[in-house]
Chain A
Amino acid sequence: MGKTIAEKIFSTHCGKEAEAGDLVVADLDFIMAQDGTAPLAINSFNEMGGKRAFDPSRVALVIDHSAPSPNEGVSSLHKLMREFAADKEVILYDIGDGVCHQLLPEQGHVASGDLVIGADSHTCTYGALNAFSTGVGSTDLAAAMISGKLWFKVPETIKYFCQGSWPGGVFSKDLILRIIGDTGADGATYLASEFSGDAISALEIEERFTISNMVIEMGAKAGLMEFDEKVERWLKSRTGRPPQAVFADDDAVYLDVRKYDVSNLEPQVACPHTVDNVSPLKDVEGLPIQQAFLGTCTNGRLIDLKIAAAILGGKKVSPAVRFIVAPASREVYLEAMQQGILKALVEAGAAVVTPGCGPCVGTHNGVPSDGEVVLSTANRNFKGRMGNSNAFIYLASPATVAASALEGKITDPRPYFA
């Protein structure tokens, strides 16, 4: 019987042929925790009697969720992380380096065929590189730091087969929002998802990350994509490790196969207060916004900033809108600077904040006021997510956010790409 990508990656990491439904203890290639989860993991590590990390070169701590620290409570947790990293000689990314899910692939810690865990639910992002990566809690992470292993139930897989040619002004964010809207917030719980078809092949790696990043919003463990020349080229420039390309068998068994044609896809928006509350943009077009946010592990990459700059270059955002931009990493920041992208955004009225997660998770750098409407490129719009439970968060593509910032209301970006 044929195997899915998930079954093959677990087979190579647990020393036997694994099938969906099997419980396995599998070897891990890389482990990550961020400043919201690492402090608890460090406590658990110590309580478990951990002395050293199984392989310090395969463990990274990332200070990104409240970076730089907004208060003394956070500062003491950051200090705990820095001291642990120095003592155990694990990798530390400190304030300003960027968002964990941009850093791990960008800095070459992930390659095709890898099994990666992170104490952050959006660890599923690296599926775009043909790796199985998933989010866990702090205690699982601590056990993994000590042992280099974690137990898993090998998941069944839903396949999303995506075809067609992308209309101008419609992006991978619109597709994944539509898929989450159709699948529901728990429609893929305990399952892996695989994305394939010519509409996926046509996407750049940065655009593919957006899709894999958001599969947790429908409950999925992983958002796997196929290995191709783009993945190979991308990895070659990032990591010295040879990729172990993994292909699903032609006769692999899927729980379900769902087909999408992007040719007639329109811009989509997730409305408050759940990510699966997705509507075509036209249903909410014209709704006034008070804040626009471009950034996050979903859409804070160079290509996202470039798309926004193309719309906003030489113009000014609406005086009714606060426009916040957070590049996903120091590298993205520098590259956007060198290409004049940041200049265009800042001239248009952007307030650029340190690479990190702050506005998306409500720790600092852009907490909305009561009753305000925020349009964001992030992956979550839960009530209170940005730090105020009386605000309303809508999610959309960078193009939609840029066009809407300009107009002061939710706006269809397609005329800019005609």
Chain B
Amino acid sequence: MILTGKAFKFGDDINTDYIISGKYKFKTLDMKELAKHVMEDLDPHFYEKINEGDMIVAGSNFGCGSSREQAPLAIKHAGISCVLALSFARIFYRNAINTGLPVVECDTSQIEEGDLLEVNLGEGTVYNKTKKINIAVSPLPDVMIKILADGGLIKHFQKHGDYNF
């Protein structure tokens, strides 16, 4: 699958409270509603600025903090197609794969706000169309490739009834 979108840049240590604040996430399971508040504490107008397919690009330790799965889900339902970061926090990374939000670990210092990016998930490549450069990507662990290939952990269980690695 090839994803194309514009980069919205954030810094290091973007925690799950910033992605979706606790004051919202406890109230509802309506992810479309939660999506309106994604990244609100860092940029109150973020949801209005983004278009379907755009990408979040961040520094190290993206998704640190709480285990809330509402974080990847709110990002996904806001229309963000992919999150690229220098590194991810462990629980967020698992949650993203489990819920089918593509996450790519790569050198994001080669991407600036507004750059047009092309991410090829099958081949594991990132191309910065604005700067005309290829960016090297850290490969996913095999287990995660299998979960993603099934479309997330829910579909993996629907298909196999158990873990099937």
Name A residues whose Cβ lies closer than 8 Å to a Cβ of B: 23, 25, 35-37, 39-40, 43-44, 47-49, 65-66, 71, 73-74, 77, 119-121, 123, 135-140, 142-143, 146-147, 149, 151, 153, 185-186, 189-190, 219, 221, 274, 361-363, 367, 380, 382-385, 387, 389
Contact = CB atoms under 8 A, between A and B. Distances in A.
Contacts of B4: none
Nearest to A150: B163
Contact of A387 (B22, B143, B161): B22
A137 B69 contact: yes
A119 B67 contact: yes
Interface string B45-70: 00000000000000011001111111
A47 B152 CA distance: 12
Contacts of A44: 153-154
Contacts of B28: 73, 77
B140 to A, nearest CB: 12
A380 B91 contact: no
Contacts of A65: 22, 26
Interface in B108-144: 141-143
Interface string B9-45: 0000101011001110111110000000000010000
B26 A139 contact: no
Contacts of A389: 21, 41
B67 A120 contact: yes
Given A23-B142, A151-B143, A363-B26, 13 more contacts: A36-B66, A65-B22, A71-B27, A120-B67, A121-B66, A137-B91, A139-B69, A140-B94, A143-B153, A151-B163, A274-B13, A382-B15, A384-B23
Contacts of B64: 185-186, 219
Given A121-B66, A136-B94, A186-B87, A39 B153 contact: no
Given A66-B26, A151-B143, A389-B41, A384 B17 contact: yes
Interface of B: 13, 15, 17-18, 21-23, 25-29, 41, 60-61, 64-70, 73, 87, 89-91, 94-95, 98-99, 141-143, 152-154, 157-158, 161-163, 165
A382 B61 CA distance: 14
14 contacts: A23-B141, A36-B66, A40-B69, A65-B22, A74-B27, A119-B69, A136-B67, A139-B154, A140-B95, A140-B153, A143-B157, A186-B89, A361-B22, A382-B15
Contacts of B17: 380, 382-385
B89 A384 contact: no
Contacts of A39: 29
Nearest to B60: A186
A367 B23 CA distance: 10
Contacts of A384: 17-18, 21, 23, 41
Given A135-B91, A219-B61, A362 B22 contact: yes
B61 A138 contact: no
A384 to B, nearest CB: 4
A211 to B, nearest CB: 19
B66 to A, nearest CB: 5
A151 B99 contact: no
Nearest to B88: A189
A221 B98 contact: no
A121 B23 contact: no
Contacts of A274: 13
Given A23-B165, A39-B29, A185-B64, A137 B94 contact: yes
